[in-house]
Structure 1
Amino acid sequence: MEDGNTTTPFLDSDQDDILNGSSIPQAPEGFKSGFIAIIGRPNVGKSTLMNQLVGQKIAITSPVAQTTRNRLRGILTTPEAQMIFVDTPGIHKPHHQLGKVLVQNAQIAIDSVDVVLFVVDGTVESGGGDRFIVELLTHTQTPVILGINKSDEQPPDSQRLDESYAQLAAPNNWKFTKFSALTGDGLEALQQLLIDHLESGPYYYPPDLVTDQPERFIMGELIREQILLLTREEVPHSVAVTIDIVEEDPKITRILATIHVERDSQKGIVIGKGGGMLKQIGSAAREQMQKLIAGKVYLELFVKVVPKWRQSRLQLSEFGYRVEE
């Protein structure tokens, strides 16, 4: 979509020229490219990292763990390489069908990419969750880089914390580096380390694209992010969002969306007293959408109860949560 001279580099569903490769240039000699899976425990900063790397918000972030659901691809193109980042759900012990699908997708990603970036929380020592992921990674032939995130939040004497992760990397001869996904400190070194692990290859996407997800998907994620931020633990992960209608004209984009929850009590929380919570969610999401499309947005939200949708493979599929092939 365009507003004046501003173009938002997202993939629209009708952009056949991009899908068939006609607008993808030929890569120069020595150019590198590849797919990089960002994996780790829940809430270690994977989505924040990908947003920082691609320079634009495409993945939602929240203090609530397990916010990432779909394998979102972020694209970073530099003069020497194109890196396609796959943001995966936090690897954890699943407690419902949705959790099983998310973890299965994360495990599949490990073997279907060129490099794995294993992100850990540098403010705490390594634990059982990290060792569980290390065990998964020992069974893959994919190169692994260990990224110690949140360097900006580490105490002055962080040697003990860093050493606990160095001990995870050493037996497997993994390279490791420290950075802050929040401030961007150390990301240049991380990028170079990733490029060093890539092989020569073509442009997979046009150089100005930052994600292969359609705008409708990103819109739904922006609404879900505000629900997580504003309701916190009250409506943790029982929420799915579908974008029902998008109507565009030169002055405004009209969007109708449905928020799906599992119980009537959750519907009441999302709507709030006198509809106050729903208005807050809509207002905050609309602001983010206007940045996304670089134009004015009218957003109307509806709330629907769909009992036990996270336990239904059919319902999961309808809401866009499928096991990756």
Structure 2
Amino acid sequence: MRDVIIVGGGPAGLNAALILGRARRSVLLCDEGRPRNAATPRTWGLFTRDGTPPFDLRAQGHADLARYGTVECREIAVTQARRLDDGFAVRLDDGREERARRLILATGLSQKIPRIEGFDTYWGTGVHSCPYCDGFEVCDRSLVVYGRGHRGCGLALELTGWSRDVVLCTDGEDEDLSDKDRDRLARNGVRVIEAKVDRLDGDGARPTRLRFRDGTDTPCTALFLMPFACSPSPLIAQLGCELDETRSVVPTHEYEKTNVPGLYVAGDASRRVQFAVVAAAEGAMAAFAINAEFVAEATR
């Protein structure tokens, strides 16, 4: 039985493996190699690595782990997980079972993109979910928020820090937009378009216009999606993790602990702030807590 199994090889999983490797713990890191940010050309806002392509970050992470002989990395999916009396067992995609005393789920989230023509075409290059990650590169241009209700209003107002040309498109769903929200949007120069969206046009590299079913359109250099519900890993449900009110995020406790003893969730699946640097920090905190538990058990 290993000390720790880590599921997910993004910033959270890789940094957890690094800290545990340096603590000389036996670790198996499993990653199926299909990250949520695969379509994103660059990762922004990461200290000393601002603008690095995501797969370059992963490659460097694996290179860093290579010097720690107690850490094994496999490019393979984990299909099942269950709690044991003394730890956890996971079933791999090849049918093999691995066991460990502790389990870290760094599985991230599966992004759901509205089924509108052009949204998937420009996902990562002109359709985004986070202005902190991608707002700077399109500042002072025509920005569109696709969203509704109070949360759509919030994202539109947030984007006014990057551009004064912001439009909120409700796609025909405007009943949740309160009079107070409409007043705030108007006072801050944000137009509201309530027509149903038809498609997002572009030049093949970036979007240029958002078109509506009534025949109208609006300029669109970049489109930001209101945070829609994302799907957590099925492993989270299999292990009995509590979820927040959105049914997508695990509300972790101190040092990324969950309600399941010995199970930790780090990265995007445990936080609303979905930054690479935050995910890496959470992986480190989970690793620290796990090693501290092992030390306490061995020295009591």
Q: TM-score, normalised by structure 2?
A: 0.32
TM-score (structure 1 length as normaliser): 0.30
- Which of the pair is proportionally richer in helix? 1
Look at both structures and tell me which one has the larger radius of gyration over its CA atoms: 2
